[in-house]
Structure 1
Amino acid sequence: MKLNGSIALFHYWNRLRDGRPAPRRTEVEPAEIKELLADTFILEKDTRGEAVFRLAGTRLCATYGRELKSFSFPSLWRERDQRLVARLIQGVFLQKSVVMIGFEGFSRGGRSMSFELLALPLDGGAEHPRCLGVISGAEKPYWLGADPVSDASIDAIRVIDPDKEAMSLGTRTSIEVPSLAPADLSAPRSFSEFGRARRVRHLVVLEGGREE
Structure 2
Amino acid sequence: MTKKNILTAAVSLSLVACLSIGATLAYFTDKSDTMTNVFTTGKVDMTLIDETEDPKGQYTFDENGVQNGILYTGVVPGDDLDKRVSVLTRDGSSNAHVGIVVTVGNTTDPSEQEVYKLIDEAVARQEKVDGDKWLDVQDVNVYDGENIVPGKLYAYNPEYPGWEQGVPANTLMRLFSDIKIPTAWDNDEAEAVFDIKVQAYALQAENTAPSLLKSAIEGTLKDDNGDRVEFQQYGD
TM-score, with normalisation over the residues of structure 2? 0.27
**Which structure has greater helix proportion?**
1
TM-score, with normalisation over the residues of structure 1? 0.29
Bigger-Rg structure (1/2): 2
